[in-house]
Amino acid sequence: MSKQEVIKLFELHKAQWDKIQSLSTILWEDFPWPMFKRPKGPDDLTTPAINAYMLSPLHPSDKSTKDRIKDSLRKWHPDRFNHSLPKVKEEDRERVQEGAGSVVRTLNDLLRSSSHDVFS
C-alpha cells in the first residue's frame, strides 16, 4: 500500500467506528478490523498483521503508540464490544466474536510489550 492509501484506510476505519453504532444490522465487513488488508475471517487476524497496523508511523493521531493501543483496546474490549453483538447478523456473529477476541489478545500483548519498550 502507498502512504496515501494507508492514511485513507486509517480515516475509513475511524469513520466505520463512528457509523457502526447507527447500523441496525452489522456484518463482518462492517467492522474496521485493525489490519491493512481486510480479513476474510478470524484466521486472517494474525499478530504480525495487527502489530504492523498498530505500530504504523502513518497514524494520523497525535497520540503515542501506547495510547493508540489503549484506545483500540477500549473499542474491542468485550465489555464494550459485546453491546454490538446482538446487532451482528446471526451467521456472522460467531466469527465476529472470535475475531474480536483475537484482536483483544493481540492488543493486550502489544500493550504489555510496549510497557517494556521505548515507544511509550
Q: What is the residue-level pLDDT of the chain in tens, covering all 120 positions? A: 899 999 999 999 999 999 998 999 999 999 999 999 999 999 999 999 999 999 999 988 778 889 999 999 999 999 888 888 999 999 999 999 999 999 999 999 999 987 665 444
Report the C-alpha gap between 52 and 46 in whole angstroms.
10
Residue 52 lies in a domain: yes
Residue 83 lies in a domain: yes
Residue 119 lies in a domain: no
Residue 59 lies in a domain: yes
Residue 20 lies in a domain: yes
Asked whether the beta carbons of 47 and 34 are under 8 A apart, the reply is no
Residue 70 lies in a domain: yes
Q: How many CB atoms lie within 10 A of CB 12?
A: 10
| Assigned C-alpha cell, 90 | 446471526
Residue 98: domain span: 3-114
Residue 120 lies in a domain: no
Number of residues that this document lists for the chain: 120
Q: How many domains does the chain have?
A: 1
| Exposure string over 69-106, b if 16+ CB within 10 A, otherwise e | beebbebbeeeebeebeeebeeebeebbbebbebbbeb
User: What residues are paired with 88 via a beta bridge?
Assistant: 26
pTM, two decimals, is: 0.89
